[in-house]
Amino acid sequence: MVFKFLKKKIERNFLYFYKKYFLNPTLRCVLPYFYVNFKDAYLTTIKLMKQKRLIGLNDIFNFFLIRSFFSLTYFRNQIGIRESNDIIEDKNFTYPLKKNSILKDIHLKGHSDVFKLKESLKDNLLLEILTNLEDSKIIYNDTNSKFKKLNFVNKREIDEYLKINDIHLIKSKLDLTKTIFLKKIFLDNFFIELAKDYLNDDKISVHTSFFISNTKNLSSPILGAQKYHHDVDFKKFFKVFIYFSDVLDSDNGAHTFIPYSHAKKNIKNYLASGFDTSQIEKDYAFKKIFLGEEGTVFMVDTFGIHKGLSVKKGTRLALIIEFGKGHSQVDKNPQYI
**What mean pLDDT comes out for the span 79-108?**
92
Q: Give residue 336's pLDDT band: very low, low, confident or very high (50, 70, 90).
A: low
Last-in-domain residue among 35, 69, 103: 69
Find out whether 93 and 118 touch, Cβ atoms under 8 Å: yes
- Let me know whether 320 and 206 are in one domain: yes
Decide which of 12 and 121 is more confident: 121
- Does residue 15 lie in a domain region? yes
What is the arithmetic mean of pLDDT over 224-253? Answer: 90
Which residues 6+ apart lie within 8 Å of 136 measured at CB? 147, 148, 149, 150, 170, 171, 172
Same domain (yes/no): 235, 295:
yes
**Cα of 85 vs its chain's centroid, Å:** 28
| Residues 297, 239: Cα–Cα separation, whole Å | 11
HEC letters along 140-194: ECCCCEEEEEECCCCHHHHHHHHHHHCEEEEEEECCHHHCCHHHHHHCCHHHHHH
For 234-259, b/e burial (b = at least 16 CB within 10 A) is bbbbbbbbbbbbbbeeeebbbbbbbb
Same domain, 57 and 150: no
CA distances (Å), origin 53, targets 80, 89, 232, 255, 260: 30, 39, 16, 29, 32
**Which CATH number goes with the domain that contains 276?**
2.60.120.620
Statement: residue 89 has pLDDT above 80: yes
* H-type alpha helices, 89-148: 99-109, 119-130
**Domain shared by 129 and 270, yes or no:** yes
Q: Are 196 and 267 in a shared domain?
A: yes
Instruction: Answer whether residue 79 is part of any domain.
Output: no
Say if 83 falls within a structural domain: no
Question: What pLDDT is stored for residue 222 in this prediction?
Answer: 43
186 and 264 part of one domain = yes
Confidence of residue 134 (pLDDT cuts 50, 70, 90): confident
Q: What is the mean pLDDT of residues 241-252?
A: 95
Task: Identify whether residues 227 and 310 lie together within a single domain.
Answer: yes
Q: Are 328 and 217 in a shared domain?
A: yes
Q: Which of 5-14, 30-39, 77-86, 193-202 has the highest mean pLDDT?
A: 193-202
Nearest to 318 by CA among 178, 118, 142, 155: 155
Over residues 271-305, the pLDDT tens digits come to 777 898 999 999 998 999 999 999 999 999 999 99
pLDDT at residue 175, as a whole number: 85
Tell me what pLDDT residue 318 has: 97
Find the domain containing 203 and state its range: 89-336
Among 17, 41, 69, give the residue marking a domain's end. 69
Report if residue 161 sits inside a domain.
yes
Q: Is residue 139 included in any domain, yes or no?
A: yes
Residue 15, pLDDT > 90, answer: no
Residues 6 and 135 placed together within one structural domain of the fold: no
Report which of 230, 225, 226, 224 is spatially closest to residue 284, judged by C-alpha positions: 230
95 and 65 in one domain? Answer: no
Question: Domain count of the chain?
Answer: 2
Question: Same domain for 147 and 296?
Answer: yes
Count each helix (H run) and each strand (E run) in the chain, helices first: 10, 14
Contact 34, 239 (CB under 8 A): no
**What is the pLDDT, as a whole number, of residue 7?**
55
| Mean pLDDT over the full length of the chain | 86
| Per-residue confidence (pLDDT) for residue 215, from 0 to 100 | 84
Q: Is residue 81 part of a domain?
A: no
Beta pairing partners, 145: 139
How many Å from the N-terminal Cα to the C-terminal Cα in the chain? 34
Q: Is residue 84 part of a domain?
A: no
Between 20 and 305, name the one with better pLDDT: 305
Q: Which of 170, 127, 122 is nearest to 148 (CA)?
A: 170
16 or 313, greater pLDDT: 313
Residue 35 has pLDDT above 80, yes or no: no
> Is 125 found in the same domain as 60?
no
